[in-house]
């Protein structure tokens, strides 16, 4: 069972949750630590000390284990207690500060983590015992068997792409269910196994065995594409393998001097590009780009360009192909010819950026301004976000020229109208506006932002008030838009001056929220903000609110249960 951290209270059994919360509050969760990326381990003190291990991916507990004897459900109270500990700050929970009696008793034996126990046992075991363990597990578990083959691949003398394809097909079969599908967990396991094979390719590169490394990458790219059509690859484990194979081929092309290996990679990329199997996935242009970098002869150059022209055109594809063509011209015809091609295709934003950067480097400010202004005119109607980038270039050009009026003009415009900040426009303005004019300028800016009434304006105005330390203005803004998210967003800035008022604001919002919403998830949300009231020092008001809610909604048992947990 997968457990979303943000909704774990809806997934785990009520009694287990309550017992886990009790364990957490009494301080029974000890030594919680991240023992490896995304994997956490803790000791939970109970009748005995038990080891809990959790794996968290994308804010979801994907794997969990506890060495307690509980077997009456999927989750025990010790796992629940550790989840509460992971969510301690988010839920606004507090726990007993002192360790339990058991953990401090003289002579009490401290439990060891599973990882520590394994390390100690492996140090004591003989090589033959470990070999026998691997043989036995490999015999009974085909996925483990193939992972061993992948992990130890660098000891294999076979150079054949077909050999690795056969190994990959066996891996894919081992994780495919009877309906031909691969679920999320199995996709993850497959990704790990193929990553180990790619690790072996990296080791081959380190030892100069480029041909064998390339063969592994070819096999991965050919065999891992099909599983994408039948797998839940929402975590990117399978697609990541194809990315890894392409990156390794690029490394081989850079590090290897063998013309034979270069030709093999070039031919593979051209064959796959022509077949079109990677079209629509985004990898086809990566193949074309890699082939272009390896093109040596006139025939190679012509083939890359001819195949590129065959593909169905799209805006983004054309941009990428133009970049590839620019690189080919630079290598084949020289910089002048390549730059002429660039100047003829300035509607490609990559080329416009390159042209502006080059003009700036040469201090040809007039040309740089002309290119940026033309970009604004070209893109403002259909691509306003891109037009803002050209405004940012105009600001950079003005900064290079130390043109204060232009700096103020562009920085002001971008502060008001650009929510993707390439630079700190507020700070740039503050450094260039005269101090005696600053208050009038910033007040006018805030007024202009508010008048636009865009979804992100509250956050923009709030950030200005924070930097100006105008806490009274920030508090007025929060009161005008008293949503839970807004109050919580600015709580840390306002709590010093308005803690009592914020407690009242939370209370009013909770009452209004529960008047319009029902269901356990909504009750949990309300209780989370009651905990925030307590954290702000409003325990008396929180208790009064809880009593009021118990009276108003006595017939909502789920709400009563959630209030009990506060």
| Tens digit of each residue's pLDDT (9 = 90 or more) over 387-403 | 999 999 999 999 999 99
Number of alpha carbons in the 13 Å side-chain half-sphere of residue 457: 15
pLDDT at 406: 98
Mean pLDDT, the chain, rounded, equals 88
Residues 407 and 442 in one domain: yes
Residues 489 and 551 in one domain: yes
> Where does a domain end: 301, 323, 345?
345
Residues 252 and 303 in one domain: no
**Whether pTM exceeds 0.75:** no
**Which H or E element spans position 29?**
strand 29-36
Residues 283 and 301 in one domain: yes
User: Could you tell me if residue 274 is inside a domain?
Assistant: yes
Model confidence band, residue 235 (pLDDT cutoffs 50, 70, 90): confident
**Which H or E element spans position 55?**
strand 49-57
> Where does a domain end: 425, 441, 468?
468
Q: What is the mean pLDDT of residues 545-563?
A: 94
User: Could you tell me if residue 265 is inside a domain?
Assistant: yes
Residues 252 and 266 in one domain: no
Q: What is the mean pLDDT of residues 97-119?
A: 51
Residues 246 and 147 in one domain: yes
User: Could you tell me if residue 106 is inside a domain?
Assistant: no
Residues 305 and 370 in one domain: no
158 DSSP assignment = -
Residues 241 and 266 in one domain: no
Residues 233 and 189 in one domain: yes
Q: Which of 161, 172, 162, 149 is nearest to 226 (CA)?
A: 172
User: Could you tell me if residue 105 is inside a domain?
Assistant: no
User: Could you tell me if residue 131 is inside a domain?
Assistant: no
Question: Is 7 within 8 Å of 60 (Cβ atoms)?
Answer: no
Please write the tens of the pLDDT for every residue from 367-384.
999 999 999 999 999 999
Q: What is the mean pLDDT of residues 304-326?
A: 82
| Host domain of residue 299 | 259-345
Residues 329 and 277 in one domain: yes
User: Could you tell me if residue 16 is inside a domain?
Assistant: yes
Residues 340 and 358 in one domain: no
pLDDT at 311: 66
* Residue 562: count of CB within 10 angstroms of its CB: 22
> Where does a domain end: 236, 256, 276?
256
Instruction: Number of helices (H) and strands (E) in the chain: give both, helices first.
Output: 29, 5
Least confident of 91-100, 123-132, 421-430: 91-100
Model confidence band, residue 156 (pLDDT cutoffs 50, 70, 90): low
> Which has the higher per-residue pLDDT, 98 or 124?
124
What size, in residues, is the chain? 566
Least confident of 1-10, 182-191, 436-445: 1-10
Our count of domains for the chain comes to 5
Please write the tens of the pLDDT for every residue from 273-305.
999 899 878 899 999 999 999 998 989 998 998
Give the span between the Cα atoms of 102 and 109, in whole angstroms: 9
């Amino acid at each position: 069972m997968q457990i979303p951290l943000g909704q774990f209270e809806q997934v785990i059994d009520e009694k287990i949750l309550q017992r886990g919360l009790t364990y957490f509050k009494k301080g029974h969760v000890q030594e919680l630590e991240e023992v490896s990326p995304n994997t956490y381990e803790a000791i939970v003190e109970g009748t005995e000390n038990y080891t809990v291990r959790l794996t968290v991916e994308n804010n979801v507990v994907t794997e969990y284990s506890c060495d307690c004897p509980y077997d009456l459900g999927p989750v025990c109270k010790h796992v629940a207690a550790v989840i509460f500990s992971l969510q301690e700050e988010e839920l606004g929970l507090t726990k007993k500060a002192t360790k339990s009696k058991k953990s401090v008793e003289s002579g009490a034996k401290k439990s060891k983590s599973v990882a520590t126990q394994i390390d100690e046992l492996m140090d004591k075991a003989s090589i033959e015992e470990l070999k026998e363990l691997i043989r036995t597990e490999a015999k009974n578990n085909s996925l483990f068997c193939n992972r061993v083959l992948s992990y130890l691949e660098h000891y294999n003398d076979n150079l054949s792409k077909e050999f690795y394809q056969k190994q990959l097909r066996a891996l894919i079969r081992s994780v495919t269910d009877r309906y031909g599908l691969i679920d999320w967990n199995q996709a993850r396991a497959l990704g790990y196994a193929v990553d180990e094979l790619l690790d072996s390719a990296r080791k081959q590169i380190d030892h100069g065995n480029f041909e064998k490394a390339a063969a592994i990458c070819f096999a991965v790219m050919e065999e891992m594409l099909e599983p994408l059509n039948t797998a839940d690859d929402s975590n990117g484990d399978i697609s990541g393998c194809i990315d890894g194979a392409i990156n390794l081929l690029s490394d081989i092309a850079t590090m290897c001097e063998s013309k034979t290996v270069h030709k093999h990679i070039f031919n593979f990329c051209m064959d796959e590009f022509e077949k079109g199997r990677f079209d629509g996935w985004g990898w086809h242009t990566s193949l074309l780009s890699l082939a272009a970098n390896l093109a040596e002869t006139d025939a190679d150059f012509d083939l890359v360009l001819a195949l590129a022209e065959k593909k169905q055109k799209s805006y983004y594809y054309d941009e990428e192909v133009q970049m590839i063509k620019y690189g080919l011209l630079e290598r084949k015809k020289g910089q002048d010819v390549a730059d002429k091609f660039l100047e003829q295709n300035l509607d490609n934003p990559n080329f416009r950026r390159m042209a502006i950067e080059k003009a700036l480097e040469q201090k040809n400010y007039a040309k740089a301004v002309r290119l940026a202004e033309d970009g604004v005119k070209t893109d403002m109607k259909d691509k306003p976000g891109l037009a803002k980038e050209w405004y940012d270039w105009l600001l950079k050009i003005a900064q290079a020229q130390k043109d204060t009026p232009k700096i103020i003009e562009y920085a002001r415009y971008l502060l008001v109208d650009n929510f993707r900040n390439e630079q700190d426009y507020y700070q740039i303005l503050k450094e260039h506006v005269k101090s005696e004019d600053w208050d009038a300028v910033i007040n006018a800016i805030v007024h202009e932002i508010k008048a636009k009434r865009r979804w992100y304006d509250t956050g923009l105005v709030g950030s200005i008030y924070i930097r100006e330390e105008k806490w009274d203005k920030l508090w007025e803004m929060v009161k005008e838009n008293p949503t839970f998210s807004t109050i919580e967003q600015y709580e840390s800035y306002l709590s010093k001056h308005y803690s009592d008022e914020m407690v009242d604001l939370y209370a009013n919002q909770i009452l209004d929220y529960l008047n319009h919403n029902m269901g356990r998830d909504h009750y949990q949300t309300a209780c989370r903000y009651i905990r925030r009231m307590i954290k702000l020092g409003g325990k008396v008001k929180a208790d009064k609110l809880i009593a009021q809610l118990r009276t108003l909604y006595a017939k909502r048992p789920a709400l009563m249960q959630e209030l009990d947990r506060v």
